[in-house]
Amino acid sequence: MTINDTTTPPVASAAGTWRLGDREINRIGFGAMRLTGMPWDARPRDRDTAIAVLRRAVELGVNHVDTAAFYFLPTRSANELISTALYPYRDDLVIATKVGPVRDGADGLAFAPYARPDQLRDQVEENIRQLGVDHLDVVNLRWGSGLGKEPGSVAEHVGALTELRDAGLLAHIGVSNVDAAQLAEAMAITPVAEVQNRYGLTERDDDDLVTLTGEHGIAFVPFFSMGAGVPGAVPGATAPADETEVAAVAEAHGVAPTQIRLAWTLHRGAHVLAIPGTGDLTHLEQNVAAGALRLTEADLARLDAVAPAA
C-alpha cells in the first residue's frame, strides 16, 4: 500500500486496535517525551506548537498517550502540556505514565538514586496532580537508572504498585526496561497490562519478549522504535550499515524511512503498540499515516535482512 493521498488526513484507527487492560485503544499512540524538547540537549520546543501537536493527535484518533513526570526541561513539562492541551480528557483517552527513576534535572537523562518501593506513592500522586486526574489509567514500573536493562528483583516495587492500585490510585500496572525473568516475576504478583522496552528494526534483542508477551495477551510497547539512524533521536545511536535498504522500501511505498520503521514494528504482532513521539505537526501526521501501511512479505524479508533477529 502506498500512502500518497495528501488530501485525506490519516487516522490512528487504520492500524487496528488492542485492549489495554479494560480499555480499547488504537495501536498508533503518542509518546510525550519529545514534546518538551529532547532532555539531553536542553533546547525547549515551542510551547504553542507542542499543545497544537497534542490536540491534532487526538483529532486524528490517537487515544493512547504515554508520558512521565520525569519528562521535563527547566521550562517545560510533558504532563503539564498534556493537561493544558487535552483537559478535560475524552472518555476514550488512555494516559499511561512511568514511575521509578528520579531525575535531578541537572544532566539530560541522568537519574538520581532509584526510588524505593515506599517512594512510589509520591511519584504516582505527582503524576496524578500534574495530569489533573483522580487516578492513573496505566502505571509502568520503569526499571533501572539508564537506557540499558539492569538486573535485580522487581517484586517489591511491583508489590507496592499493586497496593496503590488497590487503593484506587491507578487502574493497571505495566513494566518497562525489563527482561523475561523480571516480567515473569511481575506476572506472578499481578496481571501485567504492558511491557515497554527499547526495540525496533535495528535493535532486536527483545524478539523473544515480543513473542512471549503476545502469547500472554500483554501489550508490547517499544520506545525509540524509530531511533536508530535518526540524528539526535537517541543519544549515542548510529545509523545501521544498510540504511539504504530501509530507504528503498520507503521509496517503493512513497513514504519516509521512519514510517517504514514504524510500520515494521506494528507488523511484529497485533499486541504491539506504537508510541512515536514528535513536536512537529508534519511528523505527527506521517507517524499516524504509517499505521495504514501494509508491508508485503518481500518488504518484510528485505527489512529483516537489515538486522536479523538476535
Query: Given 71, 87, 114, 199, which residue is catalytic?
Result: 71
In whole angstroms, give the CA distance from residue 190 to residue 158: 8
Cell numbers representing residue 139 in the block: 502505571
Contact residues for 304 (Cβ-Cβ < 8 A; gap 6+) = none
The CA-atom distances, in angstroms, between 162 and each of 70, 101, 139, 152, 170 are 21, 18, 10, 19, 9
Residue 269's contacts (CB-CB under 8 Å, 6 or more residues apart) are 210, 211, 214, 220
* SS percent in the chain: helix, strand, coil, step 5: 40, 15, 45
Which cell goes with 19? 485492549
Q: In this structure, what C-alpha cell is assigned to residue 201?
A: 528494526
> Buried b / exposed e across 136-159, counting CB within 10 Å, b at 16+?
bbbbbbbbbbeeebeeeebeebbe
Placement of cell 503518542 in the chain: 30
The three-class DSSP label of residue 307 is coil
DSSP bridge pairs for 175 = 141, 195
Total residues found in the chain within this entry = 310
| 71 assigned to active site | yes
Q: Which of 6, 15, 11 is nearest to 268 (CA)?
A: 15
| Active-site residue set | 71
